[in-house]
C-alpha cells in the first residue's frame, strides 16, 4: 500500500456517507415553515437520492404549521411522510432504501416507513417517544443514530 494512502473499510465509508446525507437532511429541514421544529428527510437507494421531504402543511394550505397557541396543527405532514408520498408518486421504488431523518419517526410514520419497504433508518435526534423506533426494530429495519453529523 502506498504511503499516505488510507483504505477505508466498508463501515467507515458507509459512516462517511451517512454523515453527509444527514447534513443534507439538516439543510433540507431549513425549508420548513414550522416554528416549533424543522425536520428534514432523504430517501437514498443505491447511492442515489430518490426522494426528499420536510415537515409542513399539505399542498394548497397556508404555510403556518402552528395555531395561535403555538400548537402544531393536526394536518401538518412529517418530513418522512412527505418523502414517502413523493416517492410513491414517482417511478422510484423505496424497497431496501435508507431513510435519513433529522428527528426519529413517530409511531404513525414508522408504519409508513415499514410498509414502503425501507430497510435502514439513520437519524440525528430522538423523538420524545421511542415507540416508532421500537416498531421499526421489531420489523427488521436497521436503526442507526448519529448525533453529530
pLDDT tens track for 20-41 = 999 999 999 999 999 999 999 9
Could you say which DSSP state residue 82 is in?
Answer: H
Q: Where are the domains of the chain?
A: 24-145
How many other CB atoms are there within 10 angstroms of residue 102's CB atom?
25
Q: What is the pTM of this model?
A: 0.91
Check whether 148 has a pLDDT greater than 70. Answer: yes
- Distance between alpha carbon 33 and the CA centroid of its chain, in Å? 17
Nine cell digits for residue 78: 412529517
Name the CATH architecture for the domain at 24-145.
3-Layer(aba) Sandwich (3.40)
Check whether 4 has a pLDDT greater than 70. Answer: no
Mean pLDDT of all residues belonging to the chain: 93
**What is the rounded distance in angstroms from the CA atom of residue 51 to the CA atom of residue 86?**
6
Which of the residues are catalytic?
80
Amino acid at each position: 500500500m502506498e504511503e499516505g494512502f488510507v483504505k477505508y473499510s466498508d463501515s467507515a465509508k458507509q459512516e462517511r456517507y451517512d454523515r453527509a446525507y444527514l447534513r443534507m437532511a439538516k439543510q433540507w429541514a431549513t425549508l420548513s415553515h414550522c416554528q416549533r421544529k424543522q425536520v428534514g428527510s432523504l430517501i437514498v437507494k443505491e447511492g442515489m437520492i430518490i426522494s426528499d421531504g420536510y415537515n409542513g402543511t399539505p399542498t394548497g394550505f397556508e404555510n403556518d404549521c402552528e395555531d395561535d397557541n403555538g400548537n402544531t396543527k393536526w394536518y401538518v405532514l412529517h418530513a418522512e411522510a412527505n418523502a414517502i408520498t413523493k416517492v410513491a408518486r414517482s417511478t422510484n421504488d423505496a424497497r431496501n432504501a435508507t431513510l435519513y431523518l433529522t428527528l426519529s419517526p413517530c409511531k404513525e410514520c414508522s408504519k409508513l416507513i415499514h410498509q414502503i419497504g425501507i430497510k435502514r433508518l439513520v437519524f440525528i435526534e430522538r423523538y420524545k417517544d421511542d415507540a416508532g423506533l421500537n416498531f421499526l426494530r421489531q420489523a427488521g429495519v436497521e436503526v442507526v443514530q448519529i448525533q453529530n453529523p
